[in-house]
Structure 1
Amino acid sequence: MKDEKIRVTIKLFASFREAVGSGDLTWELPSGATLDELIRTLDQAYPQAGFGRRAFHMAVNHEYASMERTLQDGDEVAIFPPVSGGTDAKRRDVYELTHEPLQLDAFMRRVVPPSCGAVATFIGTVRDHTGDRQVSHLVYEAYPGMAEKMLAQIGEEIRERWPSIQAVGIQHRLGKVDIGEASVIIVTAAAHRPDVFDACRYAIERIKAVVPIWKKEVYIDGEAWVEGPHGTVTDPPPREDKRSAPT
């Protein structure tokens, strides 16, 4: 019913706990609410904490979760800053595999910092045919751990090739993906526009070349795994020299 509510417990840590003034909250939301909706309401209630503009991680019942995760009554939601370490504190890069539907707006809010005025996005969606065969849906499978590592490597390659890029985000769907649904989202952001398009294109080409993610095409009359033609993963392609040739 439309009026049904759920109640979740929120655990806040480190700077979020200090900004809110408590590490434990009980929050009521409409039934079917997602983590993204929870973050929006928290940002309205506690603007000083910066939920809508800071990088952070979330976990539901002790497991990392994405913004698209649908919450259930009684869930425990943990919100915390990136863990301490040697990474660049200004980075908001996100590399994820998820079984949840992909939502571009929610993902962009997590990735793109306020300093960026140019954002390029790529969304790969499931089409209803391959050649002359009618497709029912796709099923994606990955090698967890290695897949995220390779996505992060692609992000590092992008930053090396285009130093102007300030943020990179790649989110890939796993499991069953229906016709018209997004299977992958890529976001690249910079202060100005020249490099974001090239970086975004580079990301999808590298994903298809090196990331251990596979898809099964399920047709109305059968199914087949789609595998690439290369038996060996190659190094990144050489960087193009875009300087004008002497005349």
Structure 2
Amino acid sequence: MHITIRLFAGLAETIGSSSLSFQATEIPLTAGKLKELLSASYPNAAPQIGASLIAIDQEYAPDDSIITASSEVALIPPVSGGENGTIYETTSDGLYSITDQPLNAEKLLDTVLDINHGASLLFIGTTREMTGEQRTTALHYEAYIPMALSKLEEIGKEVKNRWNANCAISHRIGLVGLKEASVIIAISTPHRDTCYEASRFAIERLKQTVPVWKKDINESGQHWVNSDQKASDTIHK
């Protein structure tokens, strides 16, 4: 059975490609078995493959999940907590987006305001210069865009169900300079206490489950953040 596997972040760099054409002889093929086969075929990348999760049709897949010839398969490295022209991908309601352009906080906030809500918040995550003694000059973000949008939408639905809150999220990809926003989360709720809770939940859940990776670019070089951490430690099904 022939399958195509999408690769991202440091794993794609190690293997030298953003996708693999792989011929699997074992039928049925499970997600766990695919990782074993890939580790054997690409021993230099085996530690990264072992720390990654399989996504099938844009959903995280347990090891016993069956892969078919028609499956959309991706190998997802641990998440961090398009070069030709503008990238702007959004959900049909316009509330969740991935773009390589600067983010607009005021515009995003406007999408969640409600005449019956007395509280609204913007969380803006920006690139900081110093992490301990390490000086960052910029960050580079990469995303599995279709799945990332789906996971952002899931976060918004959970926020709505738990806090009766409106939610919108924009995430930037590509190069993000110092003090520039990489993610903006807009929340509105009837009362301020639930607004704070919903905003905190949204950013923590995003860091756990949304397939977006960041590369730290600094004076001594560059590296993918969290590339050595097991995906199962950061992604909670």
Question: TM-score surpassing 0.5?
Answer: yes
- Partner AA of 1:97 in structure 2: I
- How far has the Cα of 1:133 moved from its partner? 1.5
**Whose helix fraction is larger, Structure 1's or Structure 2's?**
2
Q: Which residue of 1 aligns with 2:222?
A: 223
Is 1:111 the counterpart of 2:112 in the alignment? yes
Give the TM-score normalised by the residue count of structure 2. Answer: 0.58
Once residues 133 and 194 of structure 1 are traced to their aligned partners in structure 2, the CA distance between those partners, rounded to angstroms, is 36
Q: Which residue of 2 aligns with 1:234?
A: 236
For residues 118 and 170 of structure 1, do their structure 2 counterparts lie closer, same or farther at Cα, with a shift above 3 Å needed?
same
Aligned pairs for 1:207-218 (under 5 A) are: 207-218=206-217
Aligned pairs for 1:1-247 (under 5 A) are: 94-162=95-163, 164-165=164-165, 167-227=166-226, 229-232=229-232, 233-235=235-237
Other structure's SS at 2:231 match: coil
Task: Answer whether contact 2:88 2:97 (CA < 8 A) is retained.
Answer: no
Once residues 197 and 141 of structure 1 are traced to their aligned partners in structure 2, the CA distance between those partners, rounded to angstroms, is 28
The C-alpha deviation readout for 1:157-211, integer Å capped at 9, x for no partner, is 212222x31x101111110000000111011111222211000000000111000
Task: Answer whether contact 2:89 2:98 (CA < 8 A) is retained.
Answer: no
- Partner AA of 1:175 in structure 2: G
Other structure's SS at 2:116 match: coil
Once residues 192 and 167 of structure 2 are traced to their aligned partners in structure 1, the CA distance between those partners, rounded to angstroms, is 14
Task: Answer whether contact 2:148 2:212 (CA < 8 A) is retained.
Answer: yes
For residues 190 and 146 of structure 1, do their structure 2 counterparts lie closer, same or farther at Cα, with a shift above 3 Å needed?
same
Once residues 158 and 106 of structure 1 are traced to their aligned partners in structure 2, the CA distance between those partners, rounded to angstroms, is 20
Once residues 194 and 96 of structure 1 are traced to their aligned partners in structure 2, the CA distance between those partners, rounded to angstroms, is 26
Consecutive unaligned residues in structure 1, runs of 5 or more: 1-62, 67-81, 84-91, 236-247
Task: Answer whether contact 1:93 1:111 (CA < 8 A) is retained.
Answer: no
Other structure's SS at 1:96 match: strand
- Partner AA of 1:198 in structure 2: E
Once residues 152 and 89 of structure 2 are traced to their aligned partners in structure 1, the CA distance between those partners, rounded to angstroms, is 18
For residues 231 and 183 of structure 1, do their structure 2 counterparts lie closer, same or farther at Cα, with a shift above 3 Å needed?
same
- Bigger Rg over Cα: 1
- How far has the Cα of 1:114 moved from its partner? 3.2
Once residues 200 and 64 of structure 1 are traced to their aligned partners in structure 2, the CA distance between those partners, rounded to angstroms, is 23
Alignment RMSD: 2.2
- How far has the Cα of 1:230 moved from its partner? 3.8
Q: Which residue of 2 aligns with 1:27?
A: none
Instruction: Report % sequence identity.
Output: 38
Task: Answer whether contact 1:124 1:183 (CA < 8 A) is retained.
Answer: yes
- How far has the Cα of 1:102 moved from its partner? 1.2
Once residues 168 and 230 of structure 1 are traced to their aligned partners in structure 2, the CA distance between those partners, rounded to angstroms, is 29
Q: Which residue of 2 aligns with 1:89?
A: none
Once residues 119 and 93 of structure 1 are traced to their aligned partners in structure 2, the CA distance between those partners, rounded to angstroms, is 18
- How far has the Cα of 1:64 moved from its partner? 5.9
For residues 93 and 196 of structure 1, do their structure 2 counterparts lie closer, same or farther at Cα, with a shift above 3 Å needed?
farther
Task: Answer whether contact 2:109 2:187 (CA < 8 A) is retained.
Answer: no
For residues 158 and 110 of structure 1, do their structure 2 counterparts lie closer, same or farther at Cα, with a shift above 3 Å needed?
closer
- How far has the Cα of 1:111 moved from its partner? 2.8
- How far has the Cα of 1:65 moved from its partner? 7.0
Once residues 201 and 187 of structure 2 are traced to their aligned partners in structure 1, the CA distance between those partners, rounded to angstroms, is 10
Once residues 142 and 160 of structure 1 are traced to their aligned partners in structure 2, the CA distance between those partners, rounded to angstroms, is 26
Paired positions, count:
148
For residues 181 and 64 of structure 1, do their structure 2 counterparts lie closer, same or farther at Cα, with a shift above 3 Å needed?
closer
